Amino acid sequence: MAGVKAPWWATIYVIVPIFSGFVWLGMLLGMLLWWTVKEHSVHLVPMDANQHIAYISDIGAHQLQPLFIAMGTTTVVSFTTVFVTERWLRHRGTIARNTSMFQKILSGLAIIFAIIGMIGLIILTCRNDIKYSKTHDACLVVFIAGYILSAIFVCWEYQRLGIHYRQHRILRISFWIKLAFIFVELGLAIAFGVLSDKENYNPAAVCEWVISLIYTFYVWSYAIDFIPAIRTRHYASKETEIDMAEGMESESRMRGYPGGLAQEEAAYGSTGVARGHESRNF
């Protein structure tokens, strides 16, 4: 279906994860610039006496808490819709279909843990680490663990899909990006926990900022997954479909079937040979 244009709304699939990533990155940069430029790296409550690098939560517990809540929530809510949309598109066959119930279960688990991570972040932004330190810290663990587990199930699903769709480079590229995210973020999360426990707050704060920045690229990686959904051959116009049907009828008559496509298909059926149909999957 060369020359058929995808409808404008199809690009939304790619735009949503890009939007989510930019909102998250904008939040991080806004908070960092506020603390370093406007406040001149002031020592904030509840920073330790020997701590010189503020945690994200330290900054988000003060004047910028409304921004922390609004932009953090916008990021994770919009990002969660990406998981649901991907499941829907695979079900429709717009992108590579799941080939087994196990793959669908993996996809469902990825959605569930993404939702858990989303809830963790929303609560931790609302419960600052000054008044609600225990709740805040617990939700931070839920946020990080939720998205790491979600990424594990996504990778597992993509690995199974890759066995059946070896020709789809996008699946391989996305798989390796997300696998790298799992290992890097898991390593940094462990380092963050150990350093915080040993009260090495400055390197722990650096780990937290790096974890958050890498999360931006993880969110963006889902834009790659939706590229097949905006390829033009998914969106033939009604006129194009009519032209194709008429062309197939004409070709059938030229092959000696005056009754057209229906007669040819009946002839194939009577001999036990099935006509092939081009797959819409990528």
pTM for this predicted structure:
0.77
Cα separation, 217 vs 195, in Å, equals: 24
DSSP state of 230: G
Residues 248 and 183 in one domain: no
pLDDT of residue 270: 54
3 located within any domain: no
Residue 6 lies in a domain: no
In a domain, 51, yes or no: yes
Residues 132, 178 within the same domain: yes
Question: 280 lies in a domain?
Answer: no
Please tell me the total count of domains within the chain: 2
Q: Which domain holds residue 264?
A: 238-270
Whether residue 279 lies inside any domain: the answer is: no
User: Is the pLDDT confidence value at 167 over 90?
Assistant: no
pLDDT given at position 275: 46
Q: Is the dihedral of CA 181, 215, 104, 120 positive or negative?
A: positive
Does 281 fall in a domain? Answer: no
Q: Same structural domain for residues 140 and 178?
A: yes
Residue 238: which pLDDT band, with cuts at 50, 70 and 90?
A: very low
Query: Tens digit of pLDDT for each residue in 93-120?
Result: 888 888 889 999 999 999 999 999 999 9
217 and 248, same structural domain?
Answer: no
The answer to whether residues 24 and 229 touch, using CB atoms and an 8 Å cutoff, is no
pLDDT bin (cut points 50, 70, 90) of residue 272 is very low
User: Do residue 183 and residue 249 come from a single domain?
Assistant: no
